[in-house]
């Protein structure tokens, strides 16, 4: 819009200046014609009041007296030449030619009624000279009238400059208005588009996405909003169906794993009871020792079942998201104090980084990852576990690195599955629970691992802002 205003201003200026020059030229032509006509009428009036039958010399004598009177009345200076081009009389004090140019005489002789205009330019100023025949009372040509004229464009130039100035001021105001209007329109339109872009960036397959609640005046933007909202509705429906299907499949797998884990301690419990029943002899001198051993075996298997039940219960409760914020540096340090291993090193150049996460959940994350790192380093002579916390833009990064045995390549894509484990006991819920907690607080977790060189986990959380 602003560009069009500038183009329009330039176009009008380019058209106006030549038009003004054309009008000025026509004005001078018409003005010269009027002055010439007035002089011819005044000279004709003198002829009408002059006695008939005067010769050329007597007429010259008469006009020597009248020529200055005519010049004063008409407020112009002029010259009179003979038909052969000689100067007879003139009211001009200087810059008068004593003889007319031969080409002018030829043109006048060819057509008796012709009015000849000669144009000359001196110092960028245009001069006009009008040559016309003077007729006596019998319509016979007797003299040649020369009327010099100077193109005075001061008034026209002033009017043109005034017009361009006013025109420029008006267009400057229009330009300012156009810029402001364009800015407001762009802000209004881009506000809607920014909101749409923000929502599109926030769109995720694994969560419920919100629709855009704006009413734009632009038809095209409204169509875009409606299309996005329709897509979000379809995506949310698909996510719900997929989530439901995944949950059902996960719980079926979980039930199989729970049943398998519970059967493991039940089998030795059954065998122990049957063996105790078969070999029970109340007169046996070692009956008390055997009874103690039998009870310890049952208690151990019951504890194993209790551990399985607790692990399953803890995972089923996730994510239990609590509000509030914590100093992640302090909380991580406290979580590491429960481990007695001297090869665990905690380092951070910051004293306080606030993160919006429940303290208990953060402790569970650190505890699970450090426990796995400790177990990965058990067979090493010189184990090392490093915990480092840094800032990156608007996020806090937690690095947990060990120099353990590493994670085999074939199982790396399964370690966050809730029922996956490489251990001979337990539910394999640790890393699945960690990923659940991290995701519930808008965080991410990833890892890198190399066989016999170690594993590094990276957790990222958004820094808390009021």
Tens digits of per-residue pLDDT, 357-371? Answer: 988 888 889 988 998
Q: Which residue has the higher pLDDT, 6 or 407?
A: 407
23 occurs within a structural domain? yes
In terms of domains, do 272 and 376 share one? no
pLDDT band at 404 (very low <50, low <70, confident <90, very high): very high
Quote the pLDDT of residue 307.
62
Task: State pTM to two decimals.
Answer: 0.40
Q: Per the structure block, which two tokens stand in for 29?
A: 């032509």
- Considering only 21-35, 304-318, 333-347, 348-362, which range has the smallest mean pLDDT? 304-318
Q: What's 295's domain CATH number?
A: 1.10.287
In terms of domains, do 137 and 257 share one? no
Quote the pLDDT of residue 319.
47
In terms of domains, do 60 and 141 share one? yes
In the chain, what is the straight-line distance between the N-terminal and C-terminal CA atoms, in Å? 41
In terms of domains, do 343 and 444 share one? yes
187 occurs within a structural domain? no
342 occurs within a structural domain? yes
144 occurs within a structural domain? yes
Q: Cβ neighbours of residue 466 under 8 Å, at least 6 residues apart?
A: none
Quote the pLDDT of residue 389.
96
pLDDT at 197 over 90: no
- The average pLDDT across 189-202 equals 71
Eight-state DSSP code of residue 205: T
In terms of domains, do 270 and 340 share one? no
Q: Are 319 and 437 in contact (CB under 8 A)?
A: yes
Residues 246-277: tens digit of each pLDDT:
666 766 766 666 665 566 566 666 766 777 77
Omega of the bond leading into 319 within 30 degrees of 0 (cis): yes
pLDDT band at 351 (very low <50, low <70, confident <90, very high): very high
The enclosing H or E element of 396 equals: strand 395-402
In terms of domains, do 336 and 290 share one? no
Quote the pLDDT of residue 259.
66
Q: What's 62's domain CATH number?
A: 3.30.450.20
Residue that is last in its domain, among 115, 135, 157: 157
Q: Report the 10 Å Cβ neighbour count for 424.
A: 6
Residue 158 burial by Cβ neighbours in a 10 Å radius (0-12, 13-18, 19+): exposed
- The average pLDDT across 135-161 equals 75
Quote the pLDDT of residue 426.
39
Half-sphere exposure of residue 442: CA atoms within 13 angstroms, side-chain side: 12
- The average pLDDT across 114-118 equals 77
Quote the pLDDT of residue 403.
95
Residues 42-101: tens digit of each pLDDT:
888 877 777 766 666 777 777 777 888 888 888 888 888 888 888 888 888 766 778 888
Nearest residue to 336 (alpha-carbon basis) of 282, 398, 394 = 398
Radius of gyration of the chain (CA): 55
Residue that is last in its domain, among 140, 157, 174: 157
In terms of domains, do 84 and 129 share one? yes
**Residue 410 structural domain:** 326-462
pLDDT at 449 over 90: yes
In terms of domains, do 30 and 65 share one? yes
CA torsion 235-237-239-243 (nearest 10°) is 180
Q: Per the structure block, which two tokens stand in for 167?
A: 């025109």
Q: Per the structure block, which two tokens stand in for 213?
A: 């609640």
| Total domains present in the chain | 3
In terms of domains, do 128 and 255 share one? no
Residues 372-388: tens digit of each pLDDT:
899 999 989 999 999 99
Residue that is last in its domain, among 130, 157, 184: 157
């Amino acid at each position: 819009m602003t560009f069009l205003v500038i183009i329009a201003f330039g176009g009008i200026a380019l058209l106006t200046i030549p038009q003004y020059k054309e009008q000025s030229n026509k004005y001078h032509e018409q003005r010269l014609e009027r002055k010439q006509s007035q002089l011819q009428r005044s000279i004709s009036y003198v002829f009408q009041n002059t006695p008939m039958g005067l010769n050329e010399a007597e007429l010259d004598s008469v006009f020597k007296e009248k020529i200055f009177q005519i010049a004063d009345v008409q407020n112009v200076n002029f010259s009179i030449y003979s038909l052969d081009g000689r100067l007879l009389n003139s009211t001009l004090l200087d810059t008068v030619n004593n003889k007319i140019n031969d080409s002018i005489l030829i043109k006048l002789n060819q057509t008796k009624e012709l009015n000849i205009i000669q144009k000359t330019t001196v110092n960028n100023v245009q001069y006009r000279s009008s040559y016309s025949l003077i007729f006596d009372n019998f319509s016979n040509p007797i003299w040649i009238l020369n009327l010099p004229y100077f193109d005075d464009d001061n008034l026209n130039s002033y009017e043109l400059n005034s017009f361009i100035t006013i025109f420029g001021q008006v267009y400057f105001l229009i330009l300012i208005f156009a810029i402001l209007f364009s800015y407001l329109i762009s802000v209004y339109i881009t506000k809607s588009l920014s909101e749409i872009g923000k929502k599109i960036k926030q769109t995720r397959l694994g969560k419920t996405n919100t629709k855009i609640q704006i009413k734009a005046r632009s038809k095209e933007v409204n169509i875009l909003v409606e299309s996005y909202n329709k897509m979000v509705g379809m995506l949310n429906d698909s996510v719900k169906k997929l989530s439901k299907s995944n949950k059902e499949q996960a719980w079926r797998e979980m039930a199989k794993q729970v049943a398998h884990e519970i059967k493991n301690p039940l089998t030795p419990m059954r065998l122990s009871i049957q063996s105790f029943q078969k070999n029970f002899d109340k007169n046996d001198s070692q009956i008390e020792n055997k009874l103690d051993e039998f009870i310890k075996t049952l208690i151990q298997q019951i504890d194993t079942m209790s551990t399985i039940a607790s692990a399953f219960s803890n995972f089923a409760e996730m994510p239990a998201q609590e509000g509030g914020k914590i100093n992640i540096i302090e909380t991580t340090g406290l979580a590491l104090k429960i481990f007695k291993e001297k090869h665990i090193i905690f380092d951070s150049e910051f004293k306080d980084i606030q993160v919006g996460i429940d303290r208990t959940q953060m402790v569970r994350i650190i505890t699970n990852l450090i426990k796995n790192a400790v177990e990965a380093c058990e067979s090493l002579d010189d184990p090392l576990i490093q915990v480092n916390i840094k800032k990156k833009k608007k996020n806090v990064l937690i690095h947990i690195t060990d120099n353990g045995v590493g994670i085999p390549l074939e199982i790396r894509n399964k370690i966050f599955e809730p029922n996956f484990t490489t251990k001979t006991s337990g539910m394999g819920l640790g890393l699945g629970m960690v990923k659940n907690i991290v995701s519930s607080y808008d965080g991410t977790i990833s890892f890198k691992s190399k066989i016999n060189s170690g594993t590094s986990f990276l957790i990222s959380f958004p820094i808390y802002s009021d």
